């Protein structure tokens, strides 16, 4: 496909997706748009049962190589109004995926095997990858590629990285059951704020390996009412845990569990908590990374190819390799001048890099197909 034609088609796609954001698990119109587009170019997309998102196979046979894009937007305040907003680049990711579909469709008859493109819902809440794994659509794949637009602090505009080493993240919420009492008789109650304070102190004492990168902290605490003379008996809280490696995440999680047990014993309170989100750290496959590096060099040359990126953010793409350790996976880092930064309500990036991203991913898919059929 001519570069100008590809750029014009992809710009039109992006304009629609950017102006029609939908939040996790509610991407109905987004799914419908993607299905219609793929049908219009002669493909047969397939819906998932009981959830948004879809997938499509291009080429003959059982797909051994895949590309995954996320399709949901964030819910955030923009210019004083809360709304769905594509401030993480998923509109760009979907645009690249449809660009890949256009490029592969043109050469479908010459493909040595089938490619599966996955349009995954609910990445922002860390639940979509797990849901797709449970459908079985990942099972036949040997290679899986993803991509993510990157901020200027990580990648210069017009440069491309063959792997993104995301960190692990967990978000927990819980409640403290103490006992209310009169402010003049604190010994008769169990002060939920003091219990929460003991949890915070305990979190600071959790040890991880000196060279490891990680953090654990309380990010929300709600307790007490309007009366200042009542010892609050109940509180709710949230915990945010981050780690660059899954091993470190395990250490922090085990430490948190020990803190909770010890605080319960010390104060006589009952503490309940639940895991809301668990995003695993990346496990980048060397072969997949080298394929992506080769695809970058083939497409844009060696000067635009930069080393892999270590980033503290999380991505539920990496759940695919956690669920299937034999899966060879990596994510393309697309240097497109994201500013002021990911998740900023006014986030923008250089949309002209999206066709290049589509060509790099398409090349990587072709190279991976050769590995599975050679």
90-106 vs 354-373: helix axis angle to the nearest 10? Answer: 50
Percentage of the residues of the chain whose pLDDT score is greater than 90: 98
Task: Domain 168-279: give its CATH code.
Answer: 3.30.70.360
pTM (2 decimals)?
0.90
Query: Using only C-alpha atoms, what is the Rg of the chain?
Result: 23
Residue 271 in tokens:
């503490």
For residue 243, give every residue at least 6 positions away whose Cβ sits within 8 Å of its Cβ, in sequence order, or none. 167, 168, 169, 208, 212, 213, 214, 215, 249, 251, 252, 281
For residue 284, give every residue at least 6 positions away whose Cβ sits within 8 Å of its Cβ, in sequence order, or none. 163, 164, 165, 308, 329, 330
**Could you tell me where the beta strands, DSSP code E, fall in 183-246?**
214-223, 230-231, 234-243
Kindly give the confidence (pLDDT) of every residue in the chain, 374 residues in length, as a single tens digit, with 9 standing for 90 and above.
899 999 999 999 999 999 999 999 999 999 999 999 999 999 999 999 999 999 999 999 999 999 999 999 999 999 999 999 999 999 999 999 999 999 999 999 999 999 999 999 999 998 999 999 999 999 999 999 999 999 999 999 999 999 999 999 999 999 999 999 999 999 999 999 999 999 999 999 999 999 999 999 999 999 999 999 999 999 999 999 999 999 999 999 999 999 999 999 999 999 999 999 899 999 999 999 999 999 999 999 999 999 999 998 889 999 999 999 999 999 999 999 999 999 999 999 999 999 999 999 999 999 999 999 86
CATH class, domain 3-164+282-373, is alpha beta
Is residue 164 within 8 Å of residue 333, measured between CB atoms? Answer: yes
Q: Where are the domains of the chain?
A: 3-164+282-373, 168-279
Q: What is the pLDDT of residues 30-49, one digit of tens each?
A: 999 999 999 999 999 999 99
- Rounded CA-CA distance 359/99 in Å is 8
Give residue for tokens 């291009």. 58
Give residue for tokens 């993510």. 148
Is residue 127 within 8 Å of residue 57, measured between CB atoms? Answer: no
- Rounded CA-CA distance 72/249 in Å is 26
Burial class from Cβ neighbours inside 10 Å (0-12, 13-18, 19+) for residue 30 reads buried
Is residue 238 within 8 Å of residue 173, measured between CB atoms? Answer: yes
Q: What is the pLDDT of residues 354-371, one digit of tens each?
A: 999 999 999 999 999 999
CB atoms within 10 A of CB 62: 11
- Rounded CA-CA distance 45/118 in Å is 10
- Rounded CA-CA distance 101/64 in Å is 16
- Rounded CA-CA distance 96/360 in Å is 10
């Amino acid at each position: 496909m001519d570069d100008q034609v590809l750029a014009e088609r992809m710009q039109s796609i992006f304009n629609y997706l950017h102006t029609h954001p939908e939040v996790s698990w509610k991407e109905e119109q987004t799914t419908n748009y993607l299905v219609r587009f793929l049908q219009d170019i002669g493909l047969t997309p397939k819906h998932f049962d009981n959830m948004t998102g879809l997938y499509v196979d291009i080429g003959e046979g059982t797909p051994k190589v895949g590309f995954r894009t996320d399709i949901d937007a964030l819910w955030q305040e923009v210019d004083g109004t809360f709304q769905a907003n594509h401030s993480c680049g998923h509109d760009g990711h979907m645009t690249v995926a449809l660009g890949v579909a256009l490029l592969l469709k043109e050469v479908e008859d010459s493909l040595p095997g089938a490619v599966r493109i996955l349009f995954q819902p609910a990445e922002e809440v860390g639940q979509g990858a797990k849901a797709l794994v449970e459908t079985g659509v990942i099972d036949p794949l040997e290679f899986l590629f993803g991509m993510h637009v990157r901020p200027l602090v990580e990648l210069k505009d017009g440069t491309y990285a063959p792997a993104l080493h995301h960190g692990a993240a967990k978000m927990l919420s819980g409640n403290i059951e103490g006992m209310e009492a009169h402010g003049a008789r604190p010994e008769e109650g169990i002060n939920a704020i003091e219990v929460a304070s003991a949890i915070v102190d305990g979190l600071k004492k959790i040890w991880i390996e000196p060279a490891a990168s990680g953090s654990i902290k309380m990010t929300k605490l709600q307790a007490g009412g309007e009366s200042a003379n009542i010892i609050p008996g109940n509180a709710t809280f949230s915990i945010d845990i981050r780690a660059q490696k899954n091993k470190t995440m395990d250490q922090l999680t085990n430490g948190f569990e020990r803190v909770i047990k010890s605080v319960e014993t010390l104060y006589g309170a009952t503490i309940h908590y639940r895991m809301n989100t668990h995003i695993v750290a990346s496990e980048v496959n060397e072969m997949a990374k080298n394929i992506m590096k080769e695809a970058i060099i083939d497409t844009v040359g060696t000067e635009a190819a930069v080393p892999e990126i270590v980033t503290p953010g999380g991505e539920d793409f990496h759940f695919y390799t956690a669920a299937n350790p034999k899966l060879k996976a990596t994510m393309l880092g697309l240097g497109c001048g994201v500013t002021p930064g990911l998740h900023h309500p006014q986030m923008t990036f250089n949309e002209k890099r999206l066709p290049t991203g589509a060509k790099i991913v398409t090349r990587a898919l072709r190279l991976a197909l050769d590995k599975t059929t050679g």
